[in-house]
Amino acid sequence: MDGGAKKVLLHICCAPCSIYTLKRLKSTGAEVTGYFYNPNIHPYTEFLKRLQTLDNYAKISLLQLMVDKDYDIETFLKGAIEYGKDRCLFCYRMRLERVFQKGAAYNFNAVSTTLLYSKYQRHDDIRATGEALAVKYGIEFLYEDFRKGWKEGVDASKGLNMYRQQYCGCIFSEKERFEKR
């Protein structure tokens, strides 16, 4: 990019997933702004706990953070139910679409997501969704497989005594967590 660092709007699902992702993006010289938009998280108390943890981490990591407190759980649930076992596709699209909208509105050069850090997410689907939205909004989708920093991020989050959730966030993933026991 001419004239300086790439301005990246980073969708953040939770603070632990942001640690390695943020470090990696900053190592490339990117100017990163975090963006929290996660109406999929259930229950609302979990949403608030994740947001508070991220807010605390943003302060110590000097991350500029934009927070979208729109908790449109009804739209998420309706879409997720319609998609059935492929509900994650709806969730990725819903959240990433909002990130691209914000990225366009605030003149960011690129968008990425901490979902690419998780070993439990569907990377090919996230990448395809991000690339389609990049074309639609005219903003680059920065794809990188951040999973290589999984252990580093987990260790760092534990070292910071950070709240670490045990499921993706939605009511369906919480159910699956208990069914696997």
Distance, in Å, from the CA atom of 82 to the CA atom of 21, rounded to the nearest integer, reads 31
At 94, the pLDDT band (50, 70, 90 cuts) reads very high
Tokens of 20: 């390695």
Tokens of 51: 């947001």
| Mean pLDDT score, 85-112 | 95
Determine the pLDDT at residue 105.
98
pLDDT(1) > 60: no
Average pLDDT, the chain: 91
Task: Answer yes or no: are the C-beta atoms of 12 and 54 closer than 8 Å.
Answer: yes
| Mean pLDDT score, 156-176 | 79
pLDDT(170) > 90: no
Q: Which residue has the tokens 């026991």?
A: 181
Determine the pLDDT at residue 87.
87
Determine the pLDDT at residue 26.
96
